[in-house]
Structure 1
Amino acid sequence: MAKTWFITGASKGFGREWAEAALERGDRVAATSRSAAAFDDLVEKYGDAVLPLRLDVADRTAAFEAVRQAVDTFGGLDVVINNAGYGLFGMTEEVTEQQAREQIDVNLFGALWVTQAVLPHLRARGSGHIIQVSSIGGVTSLPGLGLYHASKFALEGFSASLAAEVKGFGIHVTLVEPAGYDTGWAGPSAVRAERLPAYDDFRAAMTGISARRGDPTATRAAILTVVDAEQPPLRIFFGQGPLELITKEYQARLDEWRAWDEVSTVAFGS
């Protein structure tokens, strides 16, 4: 049976790939972006199966209105993908207040507003699948991306709670955690803080992020598998390498917690 999708940030990157994957197999897509004209080619090719919507996800009122338009047009939604987001590069001391707030507004609150907007409709249907596009940066951290990590760690936190809250309504929640992909995330879409000379030596010594990037087109089959699963996962990595990396990361955390457990216990009191 054909599904109806609502995808934010659908003009490029994963959002564009997944919108095309859905349309190619006969599904319908409400595609959002800051410019609805970004979908003119999809409308020309797929006609009424595409609903182009202009949306700044940081605007809560606009998010609710976009969801209302999608529901009114298609009669309901099956898959909701919060994909809109970008990377903020800068050491913690370098990031301005405006940069920090805008990062959280888009990456965290944007997903929250859309999620809140769709939940009444999905509850009424007794079904639905909310997919939050997190990141490997939602489960581990690198220097120079602190506020980006903060936004994705927060997305992971509220989404895990959400999954438990809506399970009884027949609604699934999945956190997709991609590794590095050639989506423009570190290029044109990125925001970069003004550099302080104090960190130049540290930057020069940093290993940095691997230059190898995955092909976003390869994620099409994966996202279709996830949305078609009878029991989809709460969390899934996209890409090669994350599982090995996180296994080491979490083992290191456990080792440190155990090493300090005596102090932890004393802190509880008698």
Structure 2
Amino acid sequence: MSKVIFITGASKGFGKLWAEAFLKRGDRVVASARNTSALNDLVQQYGDAVLPLQLDVNDRNAALNAVSKAKAHFGRIDVLINNAGYGLFGAVEETTEEQARAQMETNFFGVLWMTQAVLPIMREQQSGHIIQVSSFLGLVTLPVLGLYNASKFAVEGLSETLAMEVKDFGIHVTLIEPNGFSTDWSGASAIQTEAMEAYEPVKKAFAEGAGPDAWGKPEATVAPILQVVDSQIPPLRLLLGKVAYHGVKDAYAQRLASVEEWKDVSIAAHGH
């Protein structure tokens, strides 16, 4: 049975790639973007199976209206994929207030507004699947991406909590945690802070640390996303890419070792 899938940030990157994959197999897709002209090719090829919607996820009322239009058009929403987001590159000290707030507005609050908008529909259906496109940088960190890391850590905490709150309504939540992929996330879609000379060494080390095999192939994510959407019991978290897998596994092993090393101090701090 075909599903109705709402994807934000569907004009390029993962969003466009996944939207096309769903349409190709017969699903119906609500594809939202700031600029819907980038979706014209999907409309021409798939016609009424795709509903393009102009949407800035930072605008809560716009998110509510877009979800309402999607429900009115297709009658239901089975899956929400919160994909809209961008990378802010720069040291924490370099980051302006405007840049920091804008990063959180899109990457965190945009996810929150869309999630809140779709929940009443899914509760009424007693079914649904909310997929948050997070990052492996919502579990571990890299330098020069402090505000991006923080926005994805926030998405992780929100979504893990949400999963516990909505499971009795038949709603699943999945966090998708990719490593870097060869989309324009770190190119045209990225924002750069104004550089301070003091941070050049750490930026240089960061740039040199990424080997030629560090970036995944976006096309390779299609089959995993289809598998997650089709799963009767989807995972709460799914890492995408071998860099993500090894990076998170190693970081968690180090965290557990540190927890054990300071175990006596931690327990003593309880007081009784």
**For residues 26-59 of structure 1, what are the alpha-carbon distances to aligned partners after superposition, in whole Å with 9 as ceiling and x for unaligned?**
1110100001221111111111111000000010
Q: For the Cα contact (< 8 Å) 2:143–2:202, is it kept in 1? A: no
**In 2, Cα distance between the equivalents of 1:266 and 1:184?**
49
Cα deviation, residue 209, structure 1: 3.2
**For residues 196-251 of structure 1, what are the alpha-carbon distances to aligned partners after superposition, in whole Å with 9 as ceiling and x for unaligned?**
11112332334433443211112111111110011010000111232222121111
The residue that corresponds to 1:260 in the other structure is 262
The answer to whether residue 45 in structure 2 is matched with residue 54 in structure 1 is no
Aligned residue identity for 2:169: F
1:220-259 aligned at under 5 Å gives the runs 220-259=222-261
The answer to whether residue 79 in structure 2 is matched with residue 69 in structure 1 is no
The residue that corresponds to 2:216 in the other structure is 214
**Secondary structure, counterpart of 2:93 in structure 1:** coil
The answer to whether residue 45 in structure 2 is matched with residue 45 in structure 1 is yes
Q: For the Cα contact (< 8 Å) 2:81–2:132, is it kept in 1? A: yes
Aligned residue identity for 1:208: G
Aligned residue identity for 1:112: L
**In 2, Cα distance between the equivalents of 1:39 and 1:80?**
18
**In 2, Cα distance between the equivalents of 1:61 and 1:203?**
39
The residue that corresponds to 1:201 in the other structure is 201
The answer to whether residue 50 in structure 2 is matched with residue 19 in structure 1 is no
Equivalent pairs, count: 270
Aligned residue identity for 2:228: V
Q: More deviation in 251-260 or 117-126?
A: 251-260
**In 1, Cα distance between the equivalents of 2:204 and 2:182?**
24
The residue that corresponds to 2:135 in the other structure is 135
Point out where structure 1 has 5 or more consecutive residues left out of the alignment: none
**In 1, Cα distance between the equivalents of 2:141 and 2:189?**
20
Point out where structure 2 has 5 or more consecutive residues left out of the alignment: none
The residue that corresponds to 2:174 in the other structure is 174
Structural RMSD (CA):
1.1
**In 2, Cα distance between the equivalents of 1:211 and 1:137?**
19
**Secondary structure, counterpart of 1:241 in structure 2:** helix
**Secondary structure, counterpart of 1:58 in structure 2:** coil
**In 1, Cα distance between the equivalents of 2:204 and 2:39?**
41
Are the structure 2 counterparts of residues 224 and 139 from structure 1 closer, same or farther at C-alpha, using a change threshold of 3 Å?
same
TM-score (norm: length of structure 1): 0.97
**In 1, Cα distance between the equivalents of 2:211 and 2:107?**
23
